[in-house]
């Protein structure tokens, strides 16, 4: 198990060790700072364990998943982040005692991941406003010690004030579409957009990417979209362009490189940005009921 040190609290390590031991899992634990997580996962994988476990948030999980795929190892999750979107969508309990029980049961299911210029992500990636919000969020946390939620709220308001659109070209299977948008979103499988399931994914194994591009031209329109999304009243013709069922896409820009986000982390990448889905690449440890339900669905 690799634990994201986060704020450096020893309580996180103790809690992770305790719940795994209580579930009957004998795990070698490594605590790593955020910039040392990839190295820690690779060192763990070289010891040929029965599985790799990531204890942290979605960024930590994305790094661990990439190493698990590279070494073809089962992958377990202890959701210890702020939002834990991946665990939620994968059906993994958000309480770490329940997640430890899933790991102990040892049931796996193959799910998809996505990649941008070869870098794997498990949730989503974006170009535009969100990477800028992450930059400002992380700067506040370093300088002022603000919580992740508060820093993100302030960063959102600042990004709104400095509203900016990006000129991009989307290329899919030889076809191209120019677009000017403040935010382009690329998801690993399709994200629902509705009142009661906002931002969730009904499945992680359909072998597709989804793309959403906001159509706001100014701050006022962006605020309107945000309010309509809050109340479940988004209108695709007016508010955004949506594409689903995509296997691979190239995003071109007039600039040689762009700041993007991937699983909530900010990256700087050369353009074009080449996204693709990797169907069934990750062997995820999931609740036994998930495996049984999937088997029953496949036999129907």
pTM assigned to the model: 0.86
CATH number, domain 121-277 = 2.60.200.40
Could you report the average pLDDT of every consecutive run of 10 residues in the chain (300 residues)?
A: 72 86 93 92 96 94 97 96 91 95 97 97 92 79 77 77 86 91 93 60 96 79 65 59 92 95 92 98 89 55
Distance CA 241, CA 213 (A): 5
The arrangement of secondary structure in 2-106, i.e. its CATH architecture, is 3-Layer(aba) Sandwich (3.40)
Tokens of 2: 């690799």
Q: Residues 187, 141, 82, CA angle at the centre, nearest 5°?
A: 45
Read off the DSSP letter of residue 31.
E
Give domain limits for the chain. 2-106, 121-277
Q: What is the pLDDT of residue 34?
A: 86
Q: What is the pLDDT of residue 81?
A: 87
Distance CA 80, CA 219 (A): 34
Q: What is the pLDDT of residue 196?
A: 36
Q: What is the pLDDT of residue 263?
A: 92
């Amino acid at each position: 198990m690799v634990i994201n040190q986060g704020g450096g609290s020893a309580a996180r390590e103790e809690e992770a060790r305790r719940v795994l031991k209580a579930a009957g899992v004998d795990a070698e634990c490594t605590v790593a700072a955020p910039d040392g997580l990839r190295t820690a996962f690779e060192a763990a994988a070289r010891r040929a364990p029965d599985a790799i476990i990531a204890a942290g948030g979605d960024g930590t999980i994305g790094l661990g998943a990439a190493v698990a795929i590279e070494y073809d190892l089962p992958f377990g999750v202890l959701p210890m982040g702020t939002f834990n979107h991946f665990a939620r969508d994968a059906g993994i309990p958000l309480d770490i005692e329940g997640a430890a029980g899933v790991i102990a049961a040892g049931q796996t299911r193959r799910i998809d991941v996505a990649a941008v210029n070869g870098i794997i992500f498990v949730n989503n990636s974006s170009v535009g406003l969100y990477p800028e919000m992450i930059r400002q969020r992380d700067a506040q946390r370093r300088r002022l010690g603000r919580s992740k939620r508060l820093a993100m709220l302030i960063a959102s308001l600042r990004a709104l004030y400095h509203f900016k659109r990006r000129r991009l070209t989307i290329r899919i299977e030889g076809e191209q579409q120019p677009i000017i948008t403040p935010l382009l979103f690329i998801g690993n499988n399709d994200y629902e957009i509705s009142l009661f399931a906002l931002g969730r994914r009904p499945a992680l194994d359909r072998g597709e990417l989804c793309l959403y591009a906001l159509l706001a031209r100014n701050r006022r329109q962006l605020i309107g979209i945000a309010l309509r999304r809050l109340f479940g009243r988004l209108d695709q013709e007016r508010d955004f362009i949506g594409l689903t069922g995509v296997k691979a896409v190239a995003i071109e820009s007039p600039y040689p490189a762009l700041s993007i986000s991937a699983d909530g982390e900010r990256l700087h990448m050369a353009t074009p940005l080449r996204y693709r889905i990797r169907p069934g690449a990750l062997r995820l440890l999931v609740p036994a009921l998930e495996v049984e339900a999937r088997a029953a669905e496949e036999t129907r």
